[in-house]
Amino acid sequence: MEGNILVTGATGAIGRNLVPLLREKYGMDKVIVGYHSRIPQGSLADGPKVQVNVANKDELYKIVIEQKVSSIYHLAALLSVAAEQDPEAAERVNTQGLRNVLDVIAEQVANGNSMTGFWASSIAVYGEGLPAENVAEDVVLKPFTVYGKGKVIGEQAIAEFYKTKGVDVRVIRFPGLNGPGKPGPGTTEYAIEMIQAAAKGNHYTVPLKQDTIMPMMDIRDAVRAIMQLMASPTGTIEVGKPYNIAAFSFFPEALANVVKKFNPSFTVDYKPDELKQRIADSWPNTIDDSRARNQWGWKSTISLKEMVRNIYEAAKGEQ
Ligand code: AKB
């Protein structure tokens, strides 16, 4: 790779797990940790890093030029609950932030410089009124959330930039991603909270009904998918179109039963939060990822039990 890679939102859940893989593949000095308010810690702090406000296009452009960036993995975003609570921040960071990334890449491409990108979409694009099972990419999208609407606008902008300006930004629609570390203010994040509570010997009150099913995945599978999609030759995939990826789906009571295998005295109760429950109910139970499987060989490898073990052991180690 000629230029450097900028990862925006690199201190978030996906970034923390993706940066080490990128550095392993391309070298420490080639991967720049882009952060905003959360300062990089541990190994993330070791290599190049830059504070970046993605809502400020001039600042982003300056970094791209000065740091010789030729690929942006754009992960800076507010999650579903945070976006609902602060729609203006969601508009700035999620919608305008992506728009700025696309504009900067388009400008570079127009100047004859090769530049690509990755963007994280979500099952939040789906909305109420859809069939719940095995939902493919190509259905009518009617999310009610600020977050979901932003993801739909983002996917459409990426498709448009590809069609009209030849901008190659690849997109995955992620299910709930689960890994060690403090979970963000989302809807699927109850799962991480539950496992961490069990590891610390605490009771957990689930903010959803016990049978609320959502598609989920181990974060390590998710970042492997990003590496795989980004390494796929252009002619073999549909650039500008989002790909679903799936691993397994579960509901809180089923997760609690797996968690109890690690801590038999763990207890939960259920006190649904109105917003989280409505969001979760509007998302599919299961999604169809056959396009990703057929076109670039996607396959999940980490089971629910292994996902729980990873988060549980990390949380135990922190005590
Ligand atoms: C959230 O719940 O907000 C995220 C997501 C599925 O996009 N985890």
Give the distance between the most distant pair of CA atoms in the chain.
62
Ligand 1 atom with minimal separation from the 177 CA:
8
Question: Which of 86, 149, 187 has most ligand 1 atoms within 8 Å of CB, for mutation?
Answer: 187
Average pLDDT (50-70) is 97
- Asked if residue 123 has its Cβ within 6 Å of ligand 1, the reply is yes
Q: Is the pLDDT of residue 1 over 80?
A: no
Say how many Å lie between the CA of residue 177 and the centre of ligand 1.
8
Averaged pLDDT score across all residues of the chain = 97
Average pLDDT (226-254) is 97
- Asked if residue 176 has its Cβ within 6 Å of ligand 1, the reply is yes
Residue 319: predicted pLDDT:
76
Ligand 1 atom 7: residue of nearest CA: 122
The residues facing 35 across adjacent strands are 51
pTM of the model: 0.97
- Asked if residue 178 has its Cβ within 6 Å of ligand 1, the reply is no
d(CA 179, CA 14): 9
Residue 105: predicted pLDDT:
98
Is residue 77 a contact partner of residue 9, using CB atoms and an 8 Å limit?
A: yes
The DSSP letter of residue 67 is T
Nearest by Cα to 302 from 221, 197, 196? 221
Ligand 1 atom with minimal separation from the 279 CA:
2
Ligand 1 atom 8: residue of nearest CA: 176
> pLDDT grade, residue 318 (50/70/90)?
confident
d(CA 68, CA 79): 30
Average pLDDT (164-172) is 97
Active site residue 147: yes
Residue 28: predicted pLDDT:
96
Say how many Å lie between the CA of residue 214 and the centre of ligand 1.
10
- Asked if residue 98 has its Cβ within 6 Å of ligand 1, the reply is no
Average pLDDT (150-172) is 98
Q: What is the pLDDT of residues 80-108, one digit of tens each?
A: 999 999 999 999 999 999 999 999 999 99
Say how many Å lie between the CA of residue 124 and the centre of ligand 1.
7
Is residue 60 a contact partner of residue 108, using CB atoms and an 8 Å limit?
A: no
Ligand 1 atom with minimal separation from the 175 CA:
6
Ligand 1 atom with minimal separation from the 83 CA:
3
Structure tokens at 249: 């789906």
